[in-house]
Amino acid sequence: MSDKHSSFIKTPKQLVIVVLLAFAIPIALIVLVSQLVTGVRSPGRDAETGVLIRIKPVGEVTIAEAIAPQAGMTGEQVYQEVCKTCHEAGLVGAPKLGDKAAWAPRIKRGINALYASAINGKDQMPPKGGNRNLANIDVQHGVVYMANRSGGSFSEPSAAPAPPPTAAASAPGASAAATPVAAAAAPPVAGAARPGAALDVKAGEALMQKDGCAACHGIDKKIVGPAYVDVAAKYKGDAGAQAKLTQKIKAGGAGVWGPIPMPPNPQVPDDEIKALVSWILALKK
């Protein structure tokens, strides 16, 4: 009795194919395994950035760096960038530049009283005209500039002035010599106006100070203009609010919140205005 062996290879052609496949399949498997091993790498920066964007929270907190006042502005620069808004038009009781009759009683009280009112604030005028980043010496230069063009004859302050008198030390009823502003020159605020970046509370407040908004507006308190939370409430649900407020800050306007007009602010960069408006509209009472 003999064993019978059968095979699927019946012809020489089939034998050749089997031999070729016996070599090709292992080689292909080796190549694939080597590609898998050598092709695995850590995600690149773009992949990491994409993940961070997808998981980014709705709100974020940025710790703004403290900014030390930097002196170096002339009196005219301080006036143009900080005081002009109110002193040119005589808003909220501010004496107009060159109006000797309005300035006479203020000048009579002395330069120290004017310094105190300008630096510490008085009545509706916030400290330093709303720009706390101004150095005291620069505020004093601005005071002398305005007073001397309105009937005064004061000397320029020294480069290293003594600490300014307090509001209590000034004569009773002393009037302010510098007033709220719509724009203020200040060093760039860290994290305050990166194009496209959302502002947190600290960054928003820093931008208010930098651009002079704090002279007339508070976040939750009316000063000369409305509180920002009231602005947000008024325009809630208005799809065109961003564009309307951006244009109003840039070009000025009146009649929405009372008789006192909002002056134009052409010197404030567009990206800062847009960032500030977005932040305002997101505020809640």
Number of H helices, E strands in the chain: 11, 0
Task: Report residue 164 as tokens.
Answer: 């300014």
* pTM value > 0.85: no
Could you count the other beta carbons within 10 Å of the beta carbon of residue 128?
27
Residues 63, 60: Cα–Cα separation, whole Å? 10
Could you count the other beta carbons within 10 Å of the beta carbon of residue 125?
27
CATH numbers and ranges of domains, the chain: 72-181 (1.10.760.10), 201-281 (1.10.760.10)
Reply yes or no on whether the pLDDT at 149 is more than 90. yes
Q: How confident is the model at residue 58 (pLDDT cuts 50, 70, 90)?
A: low
Residues 202, 139: Cα–Cα separation, whole Å? 24
In terms of Cβ atoms closer than 10 Å to its own Cβ (0-12, 13-18, 19+), residue 206 is: buried
Average pLDDT over residues 213-221: 83
Rank 43-52, 64-73, 104-113, 119-128 by mean pLDDT and report only the highest. Answer: 104-113
Q: Report the C-alpha dihedral over residues 198, 201, 205, 210, rounded to 10 degrees.
A: -30
